Chain A
Amino acid sequence: MTETILVGIDGTEENRRAVDYAIKEAKQGNAKLILAYVIKWSPYSFQTAEENEERHMRREEEIQTVHKRVLDPMLESLASEGLDITGVVRHGQVADSLIYIAKKHDVTDIVVGRIGEKSINTLVFGSVVSKLIQLSHIPVTIVP
């Protein structure tokens, strides 16, 4: 069975190291690669009626923007690597979404960068990475 590696991407410079690492791993193990971008979204946030009305349109726009600015250029730049690479864009909480994608595509390893969160929120509730480690059912690789 071929392995599948899931990489969380956010379009930052630091994140690129995680992508590069995942590529190296994928080449060694002849694995498939999934690049996942999670747009932060909570179904429990409060919105005005006007925001609700436009939500469907905005959602489409957000997904388009991620494709245009981050995912598509990255897929293009990786085309020459000769790997089976696909991209996913999904709304939700980062850790939960990565785990959902991992389960859905029978992923064998999740690779993420150390996401630079330094807010109070992170101190109190823990970072995306620590949540990912707690929730994940498969190995998680953190690329510093």
Chain B
Amino acid sequence: MKKKSIIGGALALLLLMLMPMLAFAGEAGGGIDALVNKIFHTVLGPFVSLIFFSVSINGVSFPLIVAWLLIAAVVLSIKFEFVQFKGVKHSIDLLRGVYSDPDNPGEVSHFQALCTALSGTVGLGNIAGVAVAVSLGGPGATFWMIIAGLFGMACKFTECTLAVKYRNEYPDGTVSGGPMYYLSKGMSDKGKPGLGKAMGVFFAIMCIFGAMGGGNMFQGNQAHQMFSNTFGLFVDSGWLFGLILAILVGAVIIGGIKSIAKVTDKIVPFMAVLYVGTAAIIILVNIAQIPTAIGVIIAGAFAPKAIAGGIVGVLIQGLKRAAFSNEAGVGSAAIAHAAVRTREPLTEGYVAMLGPFIDTVIICTMTAMVIVITGAYNIEGVSGVALTAAAFQSVFPWFGTLLAGAVLLFAFSTMISWSYYGLKCWTYLFGESKTSELIYKAIFCIFVVIGCSASLGPVIDFSDAAIFAMSISNVIGLYMFMGELKVDMKDYQARLASGEIKRYK
């Protein structure tokens, strides 16, 4: 009863805070958008240009941050002896529960930790991002996206192992982990507590901004666009759409209403399977064209025709989209992976590295194949979600409705995941009290409404910048810990070979 009144109070407070804003947005239309955009542009513009500082190669701008992530992925792949290829069988065994003690059931399984983390990355990137890459970089971008995804697996392996190794475990059995914890705790073990704290705090601040932006406003914004375009509803009342979405998000994260989370958790995998299944059918029906499609992709990757910047242009588009989609090296999913119950941190690394594989190598590639096979990439002037929709609809006309539903649900589940990442960083900075958590969650819900009600170019730029800024301190951390982790990995593999780590199945 008491809990209900708190929830009611929080929602009422939320509404009260939103009232003036909504009234303003409703009456003045673009007024508030313009104001918000102006603020973000003047104050944060320099930050955005710094993070996305680009060099021009063959006339195509190449953000250095993408190179930063790619170099890390290659270095870590070599350091860990291409664990992403050699260790896949072990990853699948871990997922199947081969190494889980059957006398201790009921804890978070590796499978669950992976699914939870995937729900934060699988989403618009896989549907819209791929289409952007293919329309700007041609079919060849797919090839580089797959390569980047494969290397990215090593980054995920490293960051998720560290997240489990250096997490905080509390007496009541709950856990907190993620880059901010391994940066500060791990670095203080190495005798550099000041530097570690600074890097952890930087990561946490960027993560909160990223959660509010890319993990929240961008998702709401895209969901609203897709929804209003497909169904013709809420076209001029994005704020109302946002308010409904905010109430649903609030019900889950503030109210702890599990049933809504349960419903989405049931539907999201279903949607993902339906999406991949439809793509698979389209590919199978056109099985004769697969060799041609692969030919087009490979040819496009090395000798593109009529693409700005030539081969470098294609390369950049593919790499960029892979980084956006699987977030390897950013450190976000590591926060979700930290919750698994295991005595061996490395087991979580092995499982987590499947994330970029599923996200980029499987789902993104399926989308790209459909776009290439159906020839939709040749349509002039169509990009993003619209291109993906056009490709699928050329085979199944009803797909648009399904896609709108999928985008909405993916957006919702991504919001829930990112709200958690932001929350962990918030409590890392401001302490783990119920009041401070409630403040964060209320702010998060307000940003849902803002994201849906406005076209927020500069704000989105800023949130993308914040997400990539997370990787600055995270990747430095990965380099500093990789030696130590290599020793751990050798030890783990030796114990695995000797049978000291027991197989139960």
Contacts and interface: CB of A to CB of B under 8 A. Distances in A.
Given A52-B116, A55-B339, A46 B109 contact: no
A99 to B, nearest CB: 11
B109 to A, nearest CB: 4
A50 B261 CA distance: 11
Contact of A53 (B174, B261, B266, B416): B174
A117 interface: no
B78 to A, nearest CB: 31
Interface in A51-75: 51-57, 59-60, 62-63
Nearest to A45: B112
Interface in B95-124: 97, 100, 102, 105-109, 111-113, 115-116, 119-120
Nearest to A57: B173
B269 interface: yes
Contact of A92 (B106, B258, B336): B106
Contacts of A52: 108, 112-113, 116, 336, 339-340
Given A52-B112, A52-B336, A54-B174, A46 B105 contact: no
Max count, chain A CB within 10 A of own CB: residue among B100, B258, B269: B258
Contacts of B252: 48
A53 B268 CA distance: 20
B235 interface: no
B339 A49 contact: yes
Max count, chain B CB within 10 A of own CB: residue among A47, A48, A60: A48
Contact of B339 (A53, A63, A90, A100): A53
Nearest to B97: A43
Interface string B438-467: 000000000000000000000000000000
Interface string B374-404: 0000000000000000000000000000000
Max count, chain B CB within 10 A of own CB: residue among A47, A49, A57, A59: A49
Nearest to A53: B339
B265 interface: yes
Contacts of B111: 43-44
Interface in A105-143: none
Nearest to A49: B420
A16 interface: no
A39 to B, nearest CB: 7
B84 interface: no
B176 interface: yes
Interface string B154-190: 0000000000000000001111100000000000000
A100 B252 CA distance: 36
A48 B116 contact: yes
Max count, chain A CB within 10 A of own CB: residue among B109, B268, B340: B109
Nearest to B167: A53
B106 A41 contact: yes
Contacts of A59: 106-107
Contacts of B336: 49, 52
B365 interface: no
A39 B112 contact: no
B323 interface: no
A100 B100 CA distance: 14
B415 to A, nearest CB: 11
Contacts of A90: 105-106
Nearest to B102: A100
B335 interface: yes
Contacts of B113: 52
A122 B338 CA distance: 36
Interface in A27-49: 39, 41, 43-49
Contacts of A51: 258, 261
Max count, chain B CB within 10 A of own CB: residue among A39, A46, A100: A46
Contact of B341 (A45, A56, A63, A92): A56
Contacts of A60: 173
B219 interface: no
Contacts of A54: 173-174
Interface in A76-105: 90-92, 97, 100
B172 A46 contact: no
Contacts of A97: 105
A51 B108 CA distance: 9
Given A54-B174, A57-B174, A47 B105 contact: no
A65 to B, nearest CB: 13
A55 B420 contact: no
B112 A46 contact: yes
B417 interface: yes
B335 A49 contact: yes
A46 B116 contact: yes
Given A49-B339, A52-B113, A53-B175, A91 B265 contact: no
A100 B420 CA distance: 36
16 contacts: A47-B265, A48-B116, A48-B261, A48-B417, A49-B417, A49-B420, A49-B421, A50-B253, A51-B258, A52-B113, A52-B116, A53-B339, A54-B173, A57-B174, A91-B105, A92-B106
Interface of A: 39, 41, 43-57, 59-60, 62-63, 90-92, 97, 100
Interface of B: 97, 100, 102, 105-109, 111-113, 115-116, 119-120, 172-176, 252-253, 258, 261, 265-266, 268-269, 335-336, 339-341, 416-417, 420-421
Given A46-B116, A48-B265, A100-B102, 19 more contacts: A39-B106, A41-B106, A43-B100, A45-B112, A48-B252, A48-B261, A48-B417, A48-B420, A49-B335, A49-B336, A50-B253, A52-B112, A52-B339, A53-B175, A56-B108, A56-B175, A56-B341, A57-B173, A91-B105
